[in-house]
Structure 1
Amino acid sequence: MGVTRVRTREEDRPAAVAPVAGHGPGAGGGDVPAPRRDVVRRLRTPRRPRIRFEILLIAISYWTYSMIRNAVPEQKAQALRNAEWIWELERVLGIAAEQSLNHAANGVTWLIVSMNYYYATLHFVVTIGVLVWLYRRHPGRYSAARTVLFATTAVALLGYYLYPLAPPRLMETVRFVDTVQVHDTWGSMASGNMANVSNQYAAMPSMHIGWSVWCGIMIAVLAAPLWVKVLGWLYPTVTLLVIVCTANHFWLDAVGGVLCLGIGFAVSRAWYGAPAHRLPRLVPASP
């Protein structure tokens, strides 16, 4: 007669997340004291995020990002020279199509106005939306994914400081249409009084691309429905078209944004020991 095995309550409980290799008790830690190793291990072990801490962290981080980005010396003359160099390089590479796309889109008023508002709003709305979705549906992966975003932005700030770059719309030797000014886009950081308090010469790298590609990857890799995955890949594609048609960025600014994102993914993987999508979706709550 076969024996029926009864599952216990212990077996039904979620398994605890295993410590990161090389940082658990008994692991080789050289001269690092055990208490310090335990602290590092706890920091590197994914746990369910706490809502108040995350809201505070995001608010402080964005405030710091805005303050540092706008405090970077604008260096207008150097920024314009760099824009000339980027434009000439793109002409040599045969990819300098931004001017044609800018003029074509500007000829369709409803299209270019929609692009202006897309550029001014979705950059923040979609990114915050993806963070909230990760927090609610993938709590075990949230911290690693959020670290990618933060590290990417930190690298971008270094780029703004070291390489001031005027966007195409502010170039003086090439005729681009400044679509935000022409169509008076409300709420844009590049129009009205807002243009006086934001750094207009921080185009390289493009965080519209860095953040949108991050959103697209998170959605495409972690979402279940196929149509949602497709939207994930479409979002950075449309964003690329928007930043070029509105003359806010060159193609190469987008390349810079993707390179920053690659560094962000590398930092997160080095800290957590695995990319976000390979970490457990559900984890124990923070103590």
Structure 2
Amino acid sequence: MGEPTVTPLERHDQAVPHSVTAGTGERRLDRLRTPRRPRLWFEILLIAVSYWTYSMIRNAVPEQRSEALRNADWIWRTEHHLGLAFETSVNHTVNSVTWLIVSMNYYYATLHFVVTLGVLVWLYRSHPGRYAATRLVLFATTAVALVGYYFFPLAPPRLMPGGNFVDTVTVHQTWGSMASGDLKHMSNQYAAMPSMHIGWSLWCGLTIFALARLPWVRILGLLYPVATLVVIVATANHFWLDAVGGILCLAFGFTVSRAWYGSLPYTLPRVVPAPKGRGELRDKPRRRSSQKA
């Protein structure tokens, strides 16, 4: 009777390392995919490094002027075929109102960053459980945009020769665009498709609309990407089709986040509990094994 009792134990002992290894891997993956409280120092570092990397890669893309202009002509002809080539009319109409176009120049230069960072801070403080998943949407959206910049260089309307567009920054001598005036050497001027002004503003707008409590704040959230669309067209920095590219990139970002977290960011719990200590996690398997024994 000694052999039958020893053999199962030996087989069980031999099977334990594989099951424990598999379980450990699954637990680690589950922990990575489980919403956690964000750490301030890590988020600041991550955002700073990510934006620096994005800017470096975006500006390192070769400025293929001839191809960018050919692509701009193709976009312009496509919009004419669709009967939706309204950029020139909007550009000239808004440019005739000095205070309005100057305001739009500064809007283009500042709110793109200010509002996006503001929404990130608000998420961090008020919706920590949804922060990481929503931030992943933004990061994935921005990352896939780099693919567009590399494979589809596109000149903005204001740089099209004979396009009859007004470069509003140059005319009114404002600093509303990193790609105009003295700042043009600091940014790739032919990275117009997709428009991250639309990708980021729509991310902000949807996040505010989904999570804000006050009705008027939610309405402002929806109006923000609409106003941004008017600005990028009026300042001749983008075609409206560039905005479509930004929307597609954002859709990709939401897809990545949902695939990783298993649901849309806005449906995750608003607040998550503090992470459990390692000792507590290790005690649970021992209690189960003692109960089986």
Q: Is the TM-score greater than 0.5?
A: yes
Which of the numbers 171, 176, 182 marks the counterpart of 2:160? 171
RMSD after superposition: 1.6
Between 1:210-219 and 1:276-285, the stretch displaced more is: 276-285
Structure 1 consecutive aligned stretches of length 4 or more whose deviation exceeds 3 Å:
29-32
User: Contact 2:179/2:186 (CA < 8 Å) preserved in 1?
Assistant: no
Partner of 1:33: helix, strand, or coil? helix
Matching residue of 2:142: 153
1:145-193, CA deviations, whole angstroms, 9 ceiling, x for partnerless residues?
Answer: 0000000000101100010000000001311000011111136312333
Q: If each structure's helix is expressed as a fraction of its own residues, which one has the higher value?
A: 2
The structure 2 residue matched to 1:137, chosen from 126, 132, 144, is 126
Matched, 1:78 2:67: yes
**Letter of the structure 2 residue corresponding to residue 256 of structure 1:** G
2:186 equivalent in structure 1: 197
Q: Name the residue aligned to 2:261.
A: 272
Answer whether contact 2:63 2:153 (CA < 8 A) is retained.
yes
Shift of 1:35: 2.2
- The CA deviation at 1:31 is 12
1:3-34 per-residue CA deviation (whole Å, 9 max, x = no partner) reads xxxxxxxxxxxxxxxxxxxxxxxxxx999833
- Residue in structure 1 matched with residue 289 of structure 2 by the alignment: none
Q: Structure 1: state its 5+ residue gaps.
A: 1-28
How big is the shift at 1:197? 1.8
Structure 1 CA distance for aligned equivalents of residues 224 and 67 of structure 2:
32
Distance 1:165 1:62 in 2: 21
2:79 equivalent in structure 1: 90
Give the letter for the 1:164 counterpart. Answer: P
Which residue among 177, 181, 185 is the counterpart of 2:174? 185
Matched, 1:262 2:248: no
Matches within 5 A, 1:1-287: 33-186=22-175, 188-286=177-275
Distance of 2:219 and 2:253 partners within structure 1: 23
Identical residues among aligned pairs (%):
70
Q: Distance in 2 between matches of 1:271 and 1:247?
A: 37
Could you tell me which amino acid in structure 1 is paired with residue 220 of structure 2?
L
Amino acid paired to 2:179 = A
Contact conserved, 1:116 with 1:246, CA < 8 A, in 2? Answer: yes
Which structure has the bigger radius of gyration? 2
How far does the alpha carbon of each residue in 1:100-125 deviate from its partner, in whole angstroms, 9 at most, with x for none?
10011111110000000000000000
Match of 1:100, as an amino acid?
S
Q: Does the aligned pair in 2 maintain the 1:49–1:286 contact within 8 Å?
A: no
Asked if the contact 1:48/1:285 (under 8 Å) is kept, the reply is yes
State the partner residue of 1:25: none
Judge conservation of contact 1:184–1:191 (CA < 8 Å) in 2.
no
| C-alpha distance in 2 between matches for 1:97 and 1:235 | 21
SS at match of 2:263: coil
TM-score (norm 2): 0.86
Residue matched to 1:14: none
Q: For residues 121 and 30 of structure 1, do their structure 2 counterparts lie closer, same or farther at Cα, with a shift above 3 Å needed?
A: farther
Contact preservation (8 Å) 2:138, 2:200: yes
Q: Distance in 2 between matches of 1:66 and 1:31?
A: 43
Give the CA deviation at 1:195. Answer: 0.4
